[in-house]
């Protein structure tokens, strides 16, 4: 169930106006006959729903692969699970620069695509483990190729990253 809200973005903070624990989005666009509020839907859990303007080309295999592997930590998660790291806390320790929230979101997406399965053990304390499905196993050669390519081209890529970081630091 979705709720419908209208509001304005604060000019000072460029953030949505918050009223009655609801996020209110809406910019007003001038038309030749007046001002029209443009509403955006917000779900019950107050997360902004985003509608993609350009649909994914579903006939493209590269797009399908990118949908599954196209997250900051998804390849790392899949590789860690394949190496026997199954518990969420262990996955977070194995990927130290990640946040718990992002890992949970990406694990949920991988589960939605049926790349991994989540096993919940009903015990105290509760225990959760993740396992690769057949689809997840079929991604391992792609991850191995990505890892090999990254290692072969490490010097060039590291130099670009270091230069980019130095330039960003100088700007600030």
pLDDT at 48: 53
| DSSP, residue by residue, 63-96 | HHHHHHH-SSSHHHHHHHHHTT--SHHHHHHHST
Tell me, yes or no, whether 16 and 71 share the same domain. no
Q: What's the burial of 35, exposed, middle or buried (CB within 10 Å: 0-12/13-18/19+)?
A: exposed
Which residues make beta-bridge pairs with 48?
A: 42
Q: Has residue 168 been placed in a domain?
A: no
- Full residue range of the structural domain in which residue 149 is found: 61-160
Q: Has residue 54 been placed in a domain?
A: no
Tell me, yes or no, whether 97 and 137 share the same domain. yes
Q: Do residues 103 and 89 lie in contact, with contact meaning Cβ atoms separated by under 8 Å?
A: no
In 3D space, the residue among 133, 131, 104, 135 whose CA is nearest the CA of residue 120 turns out to be 131
100: Cβ contacts below 8 Å, ≥ 6 apart: 88, 92
pLDDT digits (tens, 9 = 90+) for 65-119: 999 999 899 999 999 999 999 999 999 999 999 999 999 999 999 999 999 999 9
CATH of the domain at 84: 1.10.10.10
Number of H helices, E strands in the chain: 7, 7
Tell me, yes or no, whether 66 and 39 share the same domain. no
Tell me, yes or no, whether 39 and 103 share the same domain. no
Q: Has residue 49 been placed in a domain?
A: no
140: Cβ contacts below 8 Å, ≥ 6 apart: 78, 79, 82, 132
Q: Has residue 165 been placed in a domain?
A: no
Q: Has residue 53 been placed in a domain?
A: no
Q: Has residue 55 been placed in a domain?
A: no
Tell me, yes or no, whether 38 and 68 share the same domain. no
What tokens appear for 34 in the block? 């007046």
Tell me, yes or no, whether 142 and 75 share the same domain. yes
Q: For 5-22, what is the mean pLDDT? A: 46
Tell me, yes or no, whether 84 and 34 share the same domain. no
Tell me, yes or no, whether 69 and 117 share the same domain. yes
Q: Against a cut of 0.85, is the pTM above it?
A: no
pLDDT at 65: 93
Q: Has residue 138 been placed in a domain?
A: yes
Tell me, yes or no, whether 137 and 66 share the same domain. yes
4: Cβ contacts below 8 Å, ≥ 6 apart: 39, 41
Q: For 17-37, what is the mean pLDDT? A: 43
Tell me, yes or no, whether 84 and 32 share the same domain. no
Tell me, yes or no, whether 24 and 85 share the same domain. no
Tell me, yes or no, whether 90 and 129 share the same domain. yes
Number of domains in the chain: 2
């Amino acid at each position: 169930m979705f709720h419908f809200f209208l509001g304005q973005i604060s000019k000072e903070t460029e953030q949505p106006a918050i009223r009655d624990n609801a996020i209110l989005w809406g910019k007003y666009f001038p038309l030749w006959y007046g001002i029209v509020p443009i509403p955006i839907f917000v779900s019950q859990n107050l997360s902004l729903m985003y509608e993609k303007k350009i649909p994914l080309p579903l006939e493209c295999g590269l797009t399908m692969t990118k949908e599954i592997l196209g997250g900051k930590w998804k390849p790392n998660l899949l590789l860690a699970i394949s190496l026997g790291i199954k518990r969420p806390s262990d996955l977070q320790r194995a990927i130290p620069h990640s946040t718990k929230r992002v890992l949970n979101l990406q694990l949920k997406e991988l589960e939605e695509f049926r790349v991994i399965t989540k096993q919940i053990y009903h015990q105290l304390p509760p225990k959760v483990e993740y396992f690769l499905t057949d689809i997840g196993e079929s991604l391992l050669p792609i991850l191995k190729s990505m890892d090999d390519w990254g290692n072969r081209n490490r010097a060039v890529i590291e130099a670009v990253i270091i230069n980019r970081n130095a330039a960003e630091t100088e700007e600030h």
